Structure 1
Amino acid sequence: MKLVIAEKPSVAKALCPVLGTTIKKNGYMQGNDYIVSWCFGHLVGMFMPNDYGEQWSGKWSFEQLPMFPQTWKFKINSGCNEQFKILKSLMNDRNVSEIICATDADREGECIFRYVYKFSGCRKPVKRLWISSLEEKAIRDGMKKLKDSSEYDNLYQAGFCRAKADWLVGMNASRLFSVRHRIPLTLGRVQTPTLAIIVKRDNDVKNFVKQKYFTVDLNCGNFIAVSERIDDEIKAQSIADMCNGKNAFVSEIKKELKTANPPKLFDLTTLQREANKFFGYTAKQTLDYLQLLYEAKLTTYPRTDSQYLSDDMEQTAIKAVSDVYKAFPEFKNELSYTPDIKRCINNKKVSGHHAILPTEKITVTDLSGLPEEQKNILMLVSAQLLLATSIPHKYENIKVTVNCENILFSANGKTVREYGWKLIEERIKSVLKNKDNIDENNSALPEMEQGQTFNNVSVKKSEHFTAPPKTYTEDTLLSAMEHAGLENYDENSEKKGLGT
């Protein structure tokens, strides 16, 4: 008999119909030569400092520091005794010949299983189920491709190393600063540098001193040409007086055709940022909603850091585009194109999990029954697939330089040559009721030629002020965390910013 251990009951529930475990027992399901049981997240956790003995217990003091466990020890987490006993009994049951780890396919899921496995004293062989979707087809395919648990030893070590780093930094730094400042303080590997980013920005905003500057605006009839920044008001007024009522001419026209490629598919962080921009959801809310969608088999694995697909997913992605238009006919638009799946494929950038995708179940599910928050996230994920597989947006940047009394003024414009993915984005934004939608045609300049003259131009001096940096939103803070410290590394280095 084989014992399958899931990370939580809801995931175990998705496994049972595929494996044929229909008989309900206390803390597990059984049938068809399988037993399916579950954790409740972390059943087993690391010792806290007080658990190690008298040297680190009692009142905190400088003498206790630093704390470096010689051997890392574990304990059953509060409220988890009953389920741990069930798992331990099943693991060591003589009728169980093999264990299948079916916790989430990431380093955290690996640690959740291995902590329990090691703490129970089990030595039986372990296979690993590695799937990115809870759809029945994905589970069946995964069960046919089980790998030996040893192939994921490095993943476990990465997760355990992170846990140890969190312990060493958090426990030692929290005690140090609490004792030094005589108030309870918490510090952490991610928490503290993130707080530093926020505090620095708040100080920059608070201490910002706005500076006045000026420009001279030349009215050429159909457009306004503007001088460079001028800090001296008297000089700005002098230029305005000198040019007012005079003739001007186009001295230079620069045109540059540019291409804006479609955005990438979502990883968790980019989805969290977009959800904050569109709906104001916090990062945690977005993850919670996405986890529920994953457990409902409507989206693929949520905690991914990849924005690409592997090459074996090309046909799946093609079908997914069609499924999105069936599930969300309101996304249909005027753009005629063949989805370009290949731009989303990069095997080298898919390590554990591919980018977040909707599953084929969206076409057979009554999505009107979804809670609003979950439906919003599902629509974002689905819309991103349409954008990512669309065609490039092409436009022409135009810079016109106007000469008046040997003073140069400039005007910039943009003319769209091919809307491409922007047409889909415009439709999606209207569906999602985003008010930031902008018609790019508004920035187009009128047709003109070099040497063209403008007679008796009107000129005015304009006053401006420098603007302070913006206070972080969850969207911009997540971006700052992603890019924290990257300027200190070579561009070819692997870098992740502040992790979680």
Structure 2
Amino acid sequence: MKVCIAEKPSVAREIADILGAKSRRDGYFEGNGYQVTWTFGHLCTLKEPHDYTSRWKWWDLRTLPMLPRKFGIKLIDDEGVKKQFNTIEKLVNEADEVINCGDAGQEGEVIQRWVLTKAKCQKPIKRLWISSLTEEAIKEGFEKLYNGTDFDLLYAAGSARAIGDWLLGLNATRLYTLKYGQNKQVLSIGRVQTPTLALVVQRQLEIDNFKPEPYWELKTTYRETVFSATSGRFSVKEEAEKKLEEIKGHDLFITSVETKKGTEQPQKLFDLTSLQVESNRKFGLSADETLRVIQSLYEKKVTTYPRVDTTFLPNDIYQRCPVS
């Protein structure tokens, strides 16, 4: 039996329909030699400080920095998560082969690998790598499955990022809270949130401290066209008036007219960040709202996988694009 693990129930349903796994079981689909199950996104997370030692349960400057010798993972404390994990663990341990059908990205790889690690999977692992949920894309993906080990470096990169977030976030949050938090106020520090907050604060300070200064420019209108003097801007009105007196008595001559043929390149495809910026500018949507919408569209097969930072189509999808 081959066990496929998707990242969401809706994706598992699409895969199961195409593979012929039509029978619905408790937590998975089955049929045609396949069992198709799913996670709910993250089922596992890195262990908390108190999971390593009781000394780290209490916030104390003397215990910082917290540096585990080896990082471990654990199930998220939720009954639904535990039930689904037990289903996955049972299927994996009874399988002949496991197919990782997680989302095609760093986060998707980490989510699935943590679950397989927690389940102590010792079976051969294949990787389904697709950026679209169309029937054609899924069928082609299963025709050319990759070895799971081909994505070991991607998994390592994702794990390293998660560990980096843990080390910085938990240690720095405790440090700043204990040293500077007043009335037990938690000062949350994070790899992304803190630099982002610093940028917002810096920009706000620039706005608050901005002092407008008047300036003068020399312009004239001829045949409904505005021409500007090459002298540029003047911060002192008297200097602008002096320059005006110098050129006021001279005629305006158009010595040449140059026409240039320009080309405008087609707009690049959106990556997630640029889409979130544009959605906020045009529609006032938050980053989370935009992500929810584009993820829903992906699951409805009308967009490619959204959680990537590239503005180019994968080769397999590009080849199927019509040429006009």
In 1: Cα distance, 2:129 partner to 2:301 partner:
16
CA gap 1:278/1:153 in 2 versus in 1, 3 angstroms: same
Deviation at 1:221, TM superposition (A): 3.6
Deviation at 1:250, TM superposition (A): 2.9
Secondary structure class of the residue paired with 1:45: strand
Deviation at 1:50, TM superposition (A): 2.0
User: Deviations along 1:173-192, whole A, 9 cap, x unmatched?
Assistant: 11110011122111111111
2:236 pairs with 1:232: yes
The residue that corresponds to 1:491 in the other structure is none
Deviation at 1:244, TM superposition (A): 4.7
User: Deviations along 1:449-490, whole A, 9 cap, x unmatched?
Assistant: xxxxxxxxxxxxxxxxxxxxxxxxxxxxxxxxxxxxxxxxxx
In 2: Cα distance, 1:269 partner to 1:210 partner:
33
Secondary structure class of the residue paired with 1:36: strand
Equivalent residue in structure 2 for 1:203, among 196, 205, 215:
205
The residue that corresponds to 1:129 in the other structure is 128
The residue that corresponds to 1:458 in the other structure is none
CA gap 1:241/1:219 in 2 versus in 1, 3 angstroms: farther
- 1:4-403 residue pairs with structure 2 within 5 A? 4-58=4-58, 60-79=59-78, 80-93=81-94, 96-182=95-181, 183-227=185-229, 228-241=232-245, 243-244=247-248, 247-251=251-255, 253=257, 256-318=260-322, 339=324
Deviation at 1:239, TM superposition (A): 3.5
The residue that corresponds to 1:436 in the other structure is none
In 1: Cα distance, 2:258 partner to 2:171 partner:
60
TM-score (norm 2): 0.92
| Structure 1 stretches of 4+ moved >6 Å | none
In 2: Cα distance, 1:115 partner to 1:163 partner:
12
Q: What residue identity is the alignment partner of 1:284? A: D
In 2: Cα distance, 1:154 partner to 1:137 partner:
28
In 1: Cα distance, 2:318 partner to 2:107 partner:
28
CA gap 1:311/1:295 in 2 versus in 1, 3 angstroms: closer
In 1: Cα distance, 2:151 partner to 2:226 partner:
63
In 2: Cα distance, 1:229 partner to 1:257 partner:
30
Deviation at 1:313, TM superposition (A): 4.2
In 2: Cα distance, 1:295 partner to 1:287 partner:
12
In 2: Cα distance, 1:40 partner to 1:289 partner:
17
- 1:450-469 residue pairs with structure 2 within 5 A? none
Secondary structure class of the residue paired with 1:318: coil
User: Structure 1 stretch 307-316 or stretch 223-232: which is displaced more?
Assistant: 307-316
Q: What are the ranges of 5 or more consecutive residues in structure 1 without an aligned counterpart?
A: 320-338, 340-500
Deviation at 1:238, TM superposition (A): 3.2
Calculate the aligned-residue CA RMSD, in Å: 1.8
User: Structure 1 stretch 8-17 or stretch 233-242: which is displaced more?
Assistant: 233-242
Q: What residue identity is the alignment partner of 1:113? A: Q
Q: What residue identity is the alignment partner of 1:40? A: F
In 1: Cα distance, 2:174 partner to 2:314 partner:
46
Deviation at 1:270, TM superposition (A): 2.1
Q: What are the ranges of 5 or more consecutive residues in structure 2 without an aligned counterpart?
A: none
Secondary structure class of the residue paired with 2:41: coil
Aligned sequence identity (%): 41
Deviation at 1:314, TM superposition (A): 4.4
In 1: Cα distance, 2:314 partner to 2:321 partner:
10
Q: What residue identity is the alignment partner of 2:83? A: E
TM-score (norm 1): 0.61
Structure number with the bigger relative contact order (C-alpha 8 A, sep ≥ 6) is 1
The residue that corresponds to 1:364 in the other structure is none
Q: What residue identity is the alignment partner of 1:205? A: I
CA gap 1:294/1:45 in 2 versus in 1, 3 angstroms: same
Deviation at 1:122, TM superposition (A): 1.8
Q: What residue identity is the alignment partner of 2:109? A: E
Deviation at 1:121, TM superposition (A): 1.6
Secondary structure class of the residue paired with 1:316: coil
